[in-house]
Amino acid sequence: MSKKLNAIDLFSGAGGLSYGLSKSNFDIILANEIENDFAKSFSLNHPSSKMIFDDIHNIDFKQELKKLKIRKIDVLCGGPPCQGFSTVGKKNKLDKRNSLFWEFLRVVNETKPKVVLFENVSGFKRLYNGTAYLTLISELEAMGYHAYSRIINAANYGLPQKRLRTIIVAVDKKKSFKFPDITHTDKGDIFNKPYLNIMEAISDLPSLNYGESKNQHLTKPKNEYQHRMRNGQTILTEHNASNYGEKMREILRLIPSNGSVLDLPEHLRPKSYFNNVYGRLDDSRPAPTMTRNFGTPSSSRCIHPLQNRALSTREGARLQSFPDDFIFYGSKSSKNLQIGNAVPPLLGEVLGKAIHDSITK
């Protein structure tokens, strides 16, 4: 069996990245999250990890590691929120707008992990004329790391969702890192499987009427992905539909396959809108990037491919690769936010395997 490695997860959210890393033989020894519901969800699913529910500015990570009697860290991961990174390049570390960026680097310097895993939006490299990206790379290199970066589409690794993210992996300059090989492509070929589509991810879940909730799967798992998502769970949770007023019901009935607000009569359209709102998902394709609003029909393309409703919380979790036994704490809107903001566990697992190889080879 391969060697067990340890990891710290900053800005952990509900723990999607940590869950994926744990599947790649990592022990998540420590995590930090400032949002109460997110932190509780993390702890429910990672009971052996120490969760520090606090502002990262208040935490001395050296002291925390001493308390845990841990001397060396293998991986430090996280994706600080990118709001305010515009002034990062000016090196004003006291500027509250970009302080989370500098806090991430502070923890790298305090814990000196073998590998740093940084995750952010797909346009991170171009944000604010590249100042944040270039500063991150130069700061990591000054600490003795060599950084590898790539924009990754999670659909290329078996996620039933096109989700583009910037991934930066920094390793000791004596080591090297190789990004994982792609396993799925649009149509598939002799080397790769085709992208997983939405219905391949959720077709074993029962249909829902307005305001309805169901706790039994519709069928046995129909494919490898569904089997993996079940993870031995026999009771279906978080599969519920909102109740809608008559106007919304009429709108939902009128949206055709792959349709959007543009297919509605003028009197049912909002006064101003983007062209992809009230969008029905394409059952033959992966989902577009999931956001916190996947349970809101008027948001961008989140209406069920075959039913007249927005996606349920469980369907959103499936499209993000959270298994059916993963527990989310809080209100429905909070749970959807946790899911939409998460690093998909499947992507965390794929990256974890590649990082594990780079450390142990």
Active site residues: 82
DSSP letter, residue 90: G
Instruction: Decide if 161 contacts 184 (C-beta within 8 A).
Output: no
- In this structure, how many other beta carbons lie within 10 angstroms of the beta carbon of residue 314? 24
The four Cα atoms 345, 348, 353, 355 give a dihedral, to 10 degrees, of -160
**DSSP assignment of 53-67, as one string?**
ES-GGG--HHHHHHH
> Which of 185, 197, 118, 117 is closest to 157 using CA atoms?
185
- The tally of CA atoms less than 13 A away on the side-chain side of residue 312 is 24
Instruction: Decide if 287 contacts 281 (C-beta within 8 A).
Output: yes
Phi, psi dihedrals of residue 240, rounded to the nearest 5°: -145, 150
The 3-state DSSP class for residue 166 equals strand
Amino acid at 79: G
Alpha-carbon gap, residue 101 to 319, rounded angstroms: 29
Alpha-carbon gap, residue 109 to 15, rounded angstroms: 23
The 3-state DSSP class for residue 133 equals helix
Amino acid at 351: L
From the centroid of its chain, how far is CA 143?
A: 28
Alpha-carbon gap, residue 103 to 171, rounded angstroms: 19
Alpha-carbon gap, residue 2 to 167, rounded angstroms: 24
Instruction: Decide if 141 contacts 172 (C-beta within 8 A).
Output: no
- In this structure, how many other beta carbons lie within 10 angstroms of the beta carbon of residue 267? 6
